[in-house]
Amino acid sequence: MSYPRSHIGYIEEDFLAQLAEEARTKFGVGKVADYIPALAEVEPDQFGMAICHRDGRVQSCGDALVPFSIQSISKVISLVIAMRHADEFGLWQRLRQEPSGMPFSSLIQLEREEGIPRNPFVNAGALVIVDILVEKIFLILHHMREFVREHSGNRSINYDARVAESELRNTSRNAAIAHLIKSFGNIHGDVNRVLEVYCHFCALGMNCVDLARLFSFLASAGHSPISSQQLLSADQAREVNGMMLTCGLYDASGSYAAQVGLPAKSGVGGGIVAVLPGEFTVCAWSPRLDANGNSVGARWALEKLVDYLGRSPLG
């Protein structure tokens, strides 16, 4: 089936329905994350996608209303909250904006680079951001939950306590990363508190529609069509999109940028959020992951979407 290339900013419903159908042929490829025991229990063969347009209108298909663990997608939310509350100059003294070319939980660069993480979207960088938030914001877990509820428009979003507990009990690697950073003086607070907050952020349960709506401000120069608030300046939103394009899929960020070209962030819960600046934010979800920890089905669906549109921000 071929689709007309010119449309008025919306996606044909037929295309979405066929995408959800075709996604089923990817079922069976890849593996759900099992290093966090609670995630290993998720039904692997599910697929959903939601698109939130600049005017806040949402289109969706498949399992777009099934909640899942957002995991590393939370790293974008914590970064955005830090950019809103911390002095940005200070922020970029404590971490960098460079792709790591390394798995998300690697320790290798940290030792060589004296505890300064490569970017906010690998675990090391997110742990530094969480340390900054814990220091700056009273009742940070409450603040984070209110932020996602208000700007996605879904008041029932919550932390999945079972996932948070499960990760906290199996977080030796993140603890090692946090202690190594602290040994260089780049985590100021208590490591256990930083890990507790980090694991809760990752354990937020949201669906594709919630995430597409929450991140809609990144497609609209920082202004959320959902809450009608300016969450970041246009420059800051562009900066976040740039980091997502270059660092959002860990050590697969380069091939993803070449093949899909939309700024994006993935999580080991199987979600990927992506942005077409000026037009829409999309969230695709399917729990089975490839070797880099990115969702096989969600990445495939984003490639299909860009093929359908016939363009990306890169041309």
Ligand X SMILES: NC(=O)CC[C@H](N)C(=O)O
Catalytic residues: 72, 75, 198, 250, 268
250 annotated ligand binder: yes
- For residue 282, what are the CA distances in angstroms to 209, 265, 277, 285? 9, 11, 11, 10
Q: Which CB, 167 or 251, lies closer to ligand X? A: 167
Q: Does 168 engage in binding with ligand X (CB under 6 A)?
A: no
What b/e sequence results for 127-145 when a residue is b if at least 16 CB atoms lie within 10 Å of its CB, and e otherwise? bbbbbbbbeebeebbeebb
159 secondary structure, DSSP code: E
**Residue sitting closest to ligand X (CB):** 72
Q: Which CB, 171 or 312, lies closer to ligand X? A: 171
* 127 touches 198 (CB < 8 A): yes
46, 59, 71, 312: which one contacts ligand X (CB under 6 A)? 71
Rounded to the nearest whole angstrom, what is the least distance from the CB of residue 177 to ligand X in the complex?
A: 9
47, 104, 159, 256: which one contacts ligand X (CB under 6 A)? 104
Report phi then psi at 38, rounded to 5: -65, -30
* 40 touches 34 (CB < 8 A): yes
Site for ligand X in 291-310 (CB under 6 A): 293
The tokens 């229990």 sit on which residue? 41
- Alpha-carbon Rg for the chain in angstroms: 18
Q: Does 152 engage in binding with ligand X (CB under 6 A)?
A: no
The count of chain residues that interact with ligand X, using the rule CB under 6 A, is 11
Rounded to the nearest whole angstrom, what is the least distance from the CB of residue 18 to ligand X in the complex?
A: 29
3 annotated ligand binder: no
Nearest to 71 by CA among 270, 248, 275: 270
Q: Which CB, 225 or 270, lies closer to ligand X? A: 270
Rounded to the nearest whole angstrom, what is the least distance from the CB of residue 225 to ligand X in the complex?
A: 27
Q: Which residues contact 9 (CB under 8 A, 6 or more apart)?
A: 53, 54, 279
72, 207, 224, 253: which one contacts ligand X (CB under 6 A)? 72
DSSP, residue by residue, 31-46: B---SSHHHHTS-SS-
d(CA 296, CA 290): 6
Rounded to the nearest whole angstrom, what is the least distance from the CB of residue 253 to ligand X in the complex?
A: 12
Q: Does 105 engage in binding with ligand X (CB under 6 A)?
A: yes
Q: Which CB, 180 or 221, lies closer to ligand X? A: 180
Q: Which CB, 224 or 246, lies closer to ligand X? A: 246
Alpha helices in 2-139 (DSSP H): 13-23, 37-40, 74-85, 88-94, 108-112, 123-136
225, 267, 270, 277: which one contacts ligand X (CB under 6 A)? 267
174 annotated ligand binder: yes
Q: Which CB, 202 or 211, lies closer to ligand X? A: 202
Amino acid 141 reads: L
* 241 touches 233 (CB < 8 A): no
At 274, which helix (H) or strand (E)? Answer: strand 271-276
Rounded to the nearest whole angstrom, what is the least distance from the CB of residue 190 to ligand X in the complex?
A: 18
Known binding positions: 72, 123, 167, 174, 198, 250, 268
Contacts with ligand X by CB under 6 A lie at 71-72, 104-105, 123, 167, 174, 202, 267-268, 293
